[in-house]
Chains A and B, each alone.
Chain A
Amino acid sequence: MSEKILRINMTNLSCAVEAVPAEWQGLGGRGLTSAIVSKEVPPTCHPLGKHNKLVFAPGLLAGSPAAQSGRLSAGAKSPLTGTIKESNAGGTAAQNLAKLRIKALIIEGAPVDDSKFYGIRINKDGTRIVEEKELVGKRNYEVIKTLMASIGQKVGVLTIGPVGEMRMVAANISVRDPDGNIRSHGRGGLGAVMGSKKVKYITIDDSGGPGVEIVEPERFKAAARAFAKAILEHPVSGEGLPTYGTNVLVNVLNEAGGLPTRNFRYGQFEGHDKISGETMRETIIARGGKPKHGCHAGCIIQCSQVYCDEEGEYVTSGFEYETIWGIGANCCIEDLDVIARADRIMDDIGIDSIESAVIMGVAMEAGIIPFGDGPGVLRLLEEIGQGTPLGRVLGNGAAFVGKAYGLTRVPVVKGQGIPAYDPRSVKGIGVTYATSTQGADHTMGYAVATNILQVGGFVDPLKNKGQVELSRNLQIATAAIDTTGLCLFVAFPALDIPETLTAIVDMLNAKYWIKLTGNDVTALGKSVLKTEHAFNLAAGFTKADDRLPEFFDEEPCPPHNVTWTMKGEEIDEFWNF
């Protein structure tokens, strides 16, 4: 039984199973979602209209025994940025889809009668599109719990909350994690695209399914073992991430002067230690939470965690640095419990936690609530979930809020909120924000590794020299990793231990009986980026869009008191490959 494409048409509520065209056979994850979007979606279409398509694709290694292989890519034209978008997440759905040999799930069209919502139910026998009444308007934790109770405890679930139903463009798509909690396709407003298709949820039940085929199992096993060894040997993936989670970065970025504070006014936050990874770990342990936790089966890095309140009750998991930075330093809130409550609400109503953090900083800049007002943030998030008039202004992203209040200090690129690293004091990541095919997104080319963490060498974060080349190399490598479906954190060992890449290539060759080399992987990354860039150019973007907001050129960021000084023509060199 070979892999297939499952196409769901929401205009006439039909579905079709298609063979995988030759041109898509070597692709998975981001490589595949971007190939499909670029081939089938008119670049100038309205992202919330019937011509946009929402595509899910597990990576090339999904469902295999390879460590870290459970990432699912979601792609579409983004209603937040207007660019092509790929957002990937952990959870169980990638493995569920791969075990049913579904290489991609394409949702297209939109119901003419937009008064109804639907659920898409996939299992080994086929796909059903059913009208949904009970769960409409419900939040994600309840949706997941209800579907697990009715279909099975191991069912894969993709769902949108009320923010997605209302098509606010900061909406995310939630994915059930192995414990029935939530991971998110966060960035770019893909939850609004799902809402525009009138799909409330998708369930994937792989029980009795064919499972994943590995052509050379023994060779695969040997490569997977070498891969796992490299991950566990590297201090970042083997020790740092499992111990402190990604939030170890609060103190690192604060020390480096790159922790955006008070809506990107300063690079250091006085209350940093109270919201740091070190404090978070102590708090979690003291309250009986879990300091480490995997977002999908087969994760050996375990950077996630379970955070409990003072009574030991579950509040949230997957509590990431970017969220804690954003509701914390960026909003001048130094209470980790308030930030955890905010994270819980954001997951539950279905809104991207990075965009929301930038939204709240801009809302404070606008004077809607003062900086430091934790209860105010929780109240505004509830307004977004309820869809009040103010909530709808906020839920449409930081750029929209900035416009509504006539502000200039609005940290966005191509309409997407800038995450947790100040581009003035971490210049390599500034190049990534400017040139990424998807708006400001640190995960597209994580130059922080080399600028700050000294992984994969060192390029001085305060100098322009070498940053374009660094960002380009990282963006190419990232596009390839996102195609394999591996967690991006495998890049830490890959940057320092050469056997990591060899093992990844060996796993791909053993799974598919192909003969890739390391050079092919680089070529793949380049081709993904060029496909995405071509879509954006056809959608009307030009190099003038590859720029940071003006205030970064003009306002020095303490403690280094540096501005963004990269010239347009230097940035444009990025695409010279």
Chain B
Amino acid sequence: MTSSGISDGADIQITVKLFATFRVGRFAETTRSYPPGTRITDIINELRIPEKEIGMIMLNSRHAEPDQELSNGDNLALFPLVGGG
């Protein structure tokens, strides 16, 4: 993900965690490099997760919106809509 050419700084490291059905055919957790300016929605698109399937986005253990820009060392967790109790 370093080939977009928009970056004028060093790449950022993002840990991406997937849960429930999002893990199927993907992964549970991985740390990858992304260009500065990467937003949450870019990662969702990269993983080919349809946006309507997203139930919850947590960035560093807080709820976040897809257009949020990421910073180096961020911890991103993506969940489908789930519940229990």
Q: Which A residues contact B (CB, under 8 angstroms)?
A: 235-237, 239-241, 243-249, 251-252, 255-257, 273, 277-278, 303, 321, 442-443, 446, 448-449, 452-455, 458, 460-462, 488-489, 492, 559-560
Contacts and interface: CB of A to CB of B under 8 A. Distances in A.
B77 A255 contact: yes
Nearest to A237: B83
Contact of A446 (B19, B20, B28, B85): B85
A278 B84 contact: no
Nearest to B58: A255
Nearest to B84: A246
B82 interface: yes
B55 A243 contact: no
Contacts of A278: 19-20, 23, 28
A460 B65 CA distance: 13
B76 to A, nearest CB: 10
A255 B17 contact: yes
Contacts of B3: none
A488 B83 contact: no
Contacts of B82: 235-236, 240-241, 244, 248-249, 252, 453
A282 to B, nearest CB: 10
B85 A246 contact: yes
Contact of A321 (B23, B28, B85): B85
17 contacts: A235-B80, A235-B81, A236-B81, A237-B83, A240-B20, A248-B82, A249-B82, A252-B19, A255-B77, A257-B61, A277-B84, A278-B19, A303-B84, A321-B84, A321-B85, A455-B81, A455-B83
Nearest to A240: B82
Contacts of B28: 273, 278
B58 A240 contact: no
Interface string B18-62: 011101000010000000000000000000000001011010011
Given A246-B85, A256-B58, A273-B28, A458 B80 contact: no
Contacts of B81: 235-236, 240, 453-455
Nearest to B17: A255
Nearest to B57: A454
B61 A449 contact: no
Contacts of A235: 53, 55, 80-82
Contacts of A449: 83, 85
A236 B83 contact: yes
Contacts of B85: 246, 249, 321, 442-443, 446, 448-449, 488-489
Nearest to B21: A243
Contacts of A453: 55-56, 81-83
A307 to B, nearest CB: 16
A439 B74 CA distance: 39
Contact of B20 (A243, A256, A452, A559): A243
B84 A249 contact: yes
Given A235-B81, A248-B83, A255-B17, 11 more contacts: A239-B21, A241-B84, A246-B84, A248-B20, A249-B83, A252-B82, A277-B20, A321-B84, A442-B85, A446-B85, A453-B82
A443 B17 CA distance: 29
A273 B79 CA distance: 14
A559 B62 CA distance: 10
A249 B20 CA distance: 10
A454 B20 contact: no
A251 B19 contact: yes
B61 A559 contact: yes
Contacts of B58: 255-256
B80 A560 contact: no
Contact of A492 (B20, B23, B83): B83
B61 A454 contact: no
Nearest to A276: B19
Contact of A454 (B53, B55, B77): B55
